[in-house]
Structure 1
């Protein structure tokens, strides 16, 4: 059934276009997004007062949605700071220097390990597990911090999450909407995920190497800019550091066992990693600082929270704007969309589908565009049910290809919104590597767009 687009939809589209333009021009989009929230709310309510209130309400909603990610980043940073202050990190990372000896090995080892762990536990816990240990080693080997962030992001939030072969949350959603078996979607997505992953990471790696060779990534970009390694301020014996260097990986290994044994996924997995980081921090502070352990624990926690909210603060207004495209609209502004609406971005995707002439080529292109549009809310998962539904409709006209179209929409949605292009979706990797999330999104843009183009062409031949 065609979706009736309202003025609210078109105002949202206008500001989306402006945000993309500002990002291309490397302009800050924070104020633009705040203005966008106001005008969308005013278009819906006609009230200046309600529109002003909606700005604040949208911030509250965005913070509540982002809070688990803010907390895990804050806890990992707090623990990392304690490791650096005590010198324990030097002992922990020493064995890995034998494997990561160059920027090339750093990029691919971090990426492949991120892929493997993300398949089982999803990307955010994987970022937390790898970030504190491998990223410092790779940076010392000459890999720019932005390169480490790209590897973690593309392999984790891109390849692993878009296929979701182990946990299977994404293919389950799309398969149910398309009315086909989960295994059909997984089977159809295998070549698409593989081609997308290979093409995207290769282009990203080549771009990185070219920029390093040209000197665009200066020596200052090889180290974290906001969190410099501080001087060691304790006199722990080397033996004590060795004990911690064994216990800390052991604690996280036990976490991995619990994740498997209790089937913990997503938010639960992230919470387990975060809680373990707090316990490790507490033990390090108590043993390293003797009678000042309690005060040092609080100090490290404060540093972690300061870092977490500092990194997320410019992202919150932007996230607040994009959340209006999904379920956040009714919670922020109210029930002003038509009763048939499934959210602004889903309405736009469905409307686009109803306007497209159905050939294999147009069907594939449309599914990629719809997937990308529904990913604009930054979750990647909210719109994949729509992708499955539209794939089912398209397949009737094309006499088949439901699974391929479904998988194509799923991959496009998650690569964009899950995410490698939406700044707040890729913040975990950006924060752990201490790089600008907007710069990371810009560097991902060409590789991801190239990958989407390639898999669209591949999908045409698979239909």
Structure 2
């Protein structure tokens, strides 16, 4: 049934366009999203007090929906700080240093390790876990620092973050925005993540080797960062045998988690809870063993650091998510039952209307989702705009009649590869800082391989819709 579009629908469309426009201009969109929530609420209710309240209610709704994701990321960061401060991460990764004997092995070893660690720790903590240990080894093997940064970016902030199969923060945001189960997005994203990852990393390696051969890129001498007295003392809190024990225990516990996810068919919130609970257990165990009498205070200190990171990362996401939740089930819970009779939600109504006006094709849908995803990633977060990609995917899928999960996955991949830390310079700072390279040069190096990957992945998606 075709629902006549109301002022609510048009306000929603106008603000989507405004959000995209501000992102293209590299401006913050929080104010635009809040204004959009207010205008939609006052148009629906006609009450100033209810509209003002709806802004706060939308934030509560968004935080409630995202809370498990924010929490698990905060806990994982807190745990990673424990591993780093005690030197356990050095022991965990040291066996792999024997594999790095030439630039090619350095690139692929660091990249694959970064991808695996990022699945569990997320890329930014993984950079700290991995970079400080393997960077000097890679430089001694002849891989320039820029090549090390590229490997960590493309495999971590690209492949691992765009799929996000363990923590599942990205598919949670996009699936909620599109109104489909998170498992559908994860399943649909696997072939696209594989294609994007293989094409991009191989293209990057080809250009890297070419420039090294031509002398454009020279080997980089490694200058170690001086450890502070406090950091040095913390690294000596555990004996070598204790560090080895925990270095073996931590991956075993996470491997058991992964096995449990497959065996018990845990996804979404259940999978997140398992990883989060395991991370808390590891944090407590290592902190109490290493700091002993001061373990109680250090546990709280690490948790504060983790929560500070988590809310700093998701601060820009909450207003945007709050706006886009209005497009689906969130409208009734935030504003109330004020949609026209027969409405299936603002986004679905727009999709049905679009299907009756412009018959869209799989080609147009795939190209549009890649473009929208890339544009939303320009804010440098990678996450703040993927709710938009999910909403647009839901709209286009209704118009096309199929392929919603594939379109959602495609938009998610494009947004995170562009904004999650491979192209936008201010998103590259962690890897650039660890490797002591210019983030703008790193972005320029990543541009062509990522662009090639997005084109190929978009073409593949056309056949999967």
Does the TM-score normalized on the shorter chain lie above 0.5? yes
Cα distance in 1 for residues equivalent to 2:86 and 2:239:
10
1:22/1:104 Cα in 2 relative to 1: closer, same or farther (>3 Å)? farther
Asked if 1:27 corresponds to 2:30, the answer is no
Range that drifts further, 131-140 or 314-323:
131-140
Q: Please list every run of 5 or more consecutive structure 1 residues that lacks an aligned counterpart in the other structure.
A: 165-169, 224-228, 393-405
Question: What is the correspondence of 1:140-151 to structure 2 with a 5 Å cutoff?
Answer: 141=138, 142=145, 148=152, 150-151=154-155
In 1, the alpha carbon distance for the partners of 2:112 and 2:29 equals 33
Q: Show the 5 A alignment for 1:168-317.
A: 198=198, 230-233=231-234, 234-317=236-319
> 1:414, 1:189 → 2: CA distance?
5
Cα offset for 1:52?
1.0
User: Residue 63 of structure 1: CA displacement?
Assistant: 0.8
Residues 5 and 348 in structure 1, CA contact (< 8 A), matched pair in contact too = yes
Q: CA deviation at 1:450?
A: 6.7
Deviations along 1:376-400, one digit per CA (max 9) or x if unpaired, are 77297788777666555xxxxxxxx
Secondary structure of the 2:49 match is helix
Partner of 2:387: 378
* Counterpart in the other structure of 2:171: none
Structure 1 position 64, deviation (Å)? 0.8
Match of 2:70 in 1: 70
Decide whether aligned partners of structure 1 residues 461 and 305 sit closer, same or farther in structure 2, where only a CA change above 3 A counts. Answer: closer
What's the counterpart of residue 94 of structure 1? 94
Q: Which residue number in structure 2 is paired with residue 365 of structure 1?
A: 364
Q: Cα deviations across residues 179-238 of structure 1 (Å, max 9, x unaligned)?
A: xxx9xxx8x9998776555556667888999999999xxx9xxx9xxxxx9444253222
Distance 1:306 1:189 in 2: 30
Question: Within 1, Cα distance between the matches of 2:323 and 2:447?
Answer: 20
Aligned pairs for 1:27-46 (under 5 A) are 27-46=27-46
CA deviation vs aligned residue, 1:275-330 (integer Å, no higher than 9, x gap) = 11111111111111122222222221222112211221222112211222221122
SS of equivalent residue, structure 1 residue 289: helix
Q: Contact between 1:420 and 1:426, CA under 8 Å: does it hold in 2? A: no
Q: Do the aligned residues in 1 keep the contact of 2:352 with 2:399 (CA within 8 Å)? A: yes
Deviations, residues 8-31 of structure 1 (Å, cap 9, x unaligned): 111111111111111111111122
* CA RMSD, 1 decimal: 5.1
**Number of aligned pairs?**
409
Q: Give the structure 1 partner of residue 435 of structure 2.
A: none
Decide whether the 8 Å contact of 1:412 with 1:452 is kept in 2.
no
CA distance in 2, matches of 1:355, 1:115: 43
Secondary structure of 1:378's aligned partner: helix
Report the secondary structure of 1:264's partner residue: coil
Range moving further from structure 2, 262-271 or 8-17: 262-271
Q: How does 1:391-410 map to 2 (within 5 A)?
A: 391-392=400-401, 406-407=402-403, 409-410=404-405
| Preserved contact between residue 163 and residue 190 of structure 2 (Cα < 8 Å) | no
C-alpha contact (below 8 Å) 2:58/2:334 kept by paired residues: yes
Determine if contact 2:38/2:51 at 8 Å carries over to the other structure: yes
| Larger displacement relative to structure 2 (60-69 or 311-320) | 311-320
* Deviation, structure 1 residue 367: 6.4
Contact 2:327–2:391 at 8 Å: present in 1 too?
no
Of 152, 155, 170, 2:156 maps to: 152
Change (3 A) 1:104 1:431: farther
Listed as ranges, the gaps of 5+ residues in structure 2 are 139-144, 169-173, 377-384, 433-438
Partner of 1:235: helix, strand, or coil? Answer: coil
Q: For residues 205 and 122 of structure 2, what CA distance do their matches in structure 1 show?
A: 21
Work out the CA distance in 2 between the residues paired with 1:107 and 1:57: 47
Q: 1:189 to 1:272 in 2, by over 3 A?
A: closer
| Equivalent in the alignment of 1:415 | 410
TM-score normalized by structure 1?
Answer: 0.68
Once the two structures are TM-superposed, the CA of residue 59 in structure 1 deviates from its matched residue by: 0.8
What is the CA distance between 1:260 and its match in structure 2? 3.0
CA deviation after TM superposition for structure 1 residue 452, in Å: 6.5
- SS at structure 2 position matched to 1:421: helix
Does the 8 A contact of 1:103 with 1:138 survive in 2?
no
- Give per-residue Cα distances to partners, 1:237-283, cap 9 Å, x unaligned: 22221222122222222223322332322322221111111111111
- Distance in 1 separating the partners of 2:365 and 2:156: 29
TM-score, length basis structure 2: 0.68
- Distance (Å, rounded) in 2 between the aligned partners of 1:328 and 1:94: 48
Instruction: Indicate yes or no: 2:59 matched with 1:48.
Output: no
Separation (CA, whole Å) in 2 of partners of 1:129 and 1:11: 39
